[in-house]
């Protein structure tokens, strides 16, 4: 995990020092598309030779009084490396998790590093015609702290779609299937999402989203959440974002808030003479 965070620091330094200025008024690259802050992954890849780093922090709360649970997670890092026009490699980790349960003398605390996830995104249909699709095969590796790690290799495949709508709206969604492990054993979990986005004034964008996890097993309940957020582009090669959400079923957190940032560089793109 320390190697992963060192790689993130190098990527961040390269992004800032790249000849393609983050704050350039006329970006040399296509429109910046991040996979945060919403749960729904985009159907776009970063592009050949593009290095894109996305990170943030979130706080979520659940329960009340003696059963109150508060979780802080950072840096929620995702490193995306464009290796072809339709393919990118992905390396991610939630980072450090701080979980405080209860209050007063009955309070307990769990903290530690989350597992590392590795994967790729492959575009099946680009969005030039107004509809795009991609697939994201990935797996979580048990590299984290024992108190936080699942302790198993957990594979996931995500199917993404997106379509353009009139008046600068867009609609997108995901279907995810995972094979996970916890203290109760191995199980299959499905997740679905739908997100409605809209361009706003002065470089701002907004979205409204609903998503749910449906673990298979008698003791596991479905968790559904609704959320909304804002994004703001900075000079074409960076983006600031904000999110807030609320659980609508008992198995989901009562609420969460988050803030994040995305930055990219073309430092790995071949230079034509």
**From 103-112, 134-143, 158-167, the region with the lowest mean pLDDT:** 103-112
Q: What is the pLDDT of residues 60-103, one digit of tens each?
A: 999 876 678 999 999 999 999 999 999 999 999 999 999 998 87
Confidence of residue 115 (pLDDT cuts 50, 70, 90): very high
Contact 186, 216 (CB under 8 A): no
pLDDT at 25 over 50: no
| pTM, entire model | 0.90
Look at residue 38 in the predicted model and tell me its pLDDT. Answer: 96
Token pair of 197, please?
């986005």
The domains found in the chain, sorted by start residue, are: 2-265 (2.40.160.40)
Look at residue 136 in the predicted model and tell me its pLDDT. Answer: 98
Alpha-carbon distances of 174 from 58, 133, 178, rounded to whole Å: 21, 10, 13
């Amino acid at each position: 995990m320390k190697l992963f965070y060192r790689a993130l620091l190098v990527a961040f330094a390269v992004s800032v020092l790249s000849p393609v200025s983050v704050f350039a008024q006329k970006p040399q690259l296509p429109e910046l598309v991040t996979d945060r802050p919403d749960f729904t992954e985009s159907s776009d890849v970063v592009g050949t030779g593009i290095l894109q780093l996305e990170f943030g922090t979130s706080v979520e709360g659940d329960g009340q009084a003696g059963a109150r649970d508060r979780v802080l997670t950072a840096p929620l890092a995702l490193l995306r490396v464009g290796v072809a026009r339709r393919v990118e490699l992905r390396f991610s980790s939630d980072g450090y998790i701080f979980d405080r349960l209860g209050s007063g003398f009955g309070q307990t605390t769990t903290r530690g590093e989350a597992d590392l996830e590795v994967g790729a995104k492959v575009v099946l249909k680009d969005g030039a015609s107004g509809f795009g699709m991609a697939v994201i095969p990935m797996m979580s590796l048990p590299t984290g702290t024992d108190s936080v790690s699942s302790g198993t290799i957990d594979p996931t495949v995500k199917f993404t779609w997106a379509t353009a709508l009139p008046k600068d709206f867009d609609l997108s969604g995901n279907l995810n299937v995972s094979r996970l492990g916890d203290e109760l054993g191995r199980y299959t979990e499905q997740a679905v999402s739908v997100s409605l986005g809209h361009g706003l004034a002065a470089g701002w964008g907004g979205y409204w989203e609903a998503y749910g996890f449906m673990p298979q097993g008698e003791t596991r309940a479905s968790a559904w959440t609704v959320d909304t957020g804002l994004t703001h582009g900075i000079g074409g090669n960076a983006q600031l974002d904000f999110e807030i959400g609320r659980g609508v079923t008992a198995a989901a957190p009562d609420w969460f808030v988050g803030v994040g940032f995305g930055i990219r560089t073309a430092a790995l793109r071949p230079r034509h003479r």
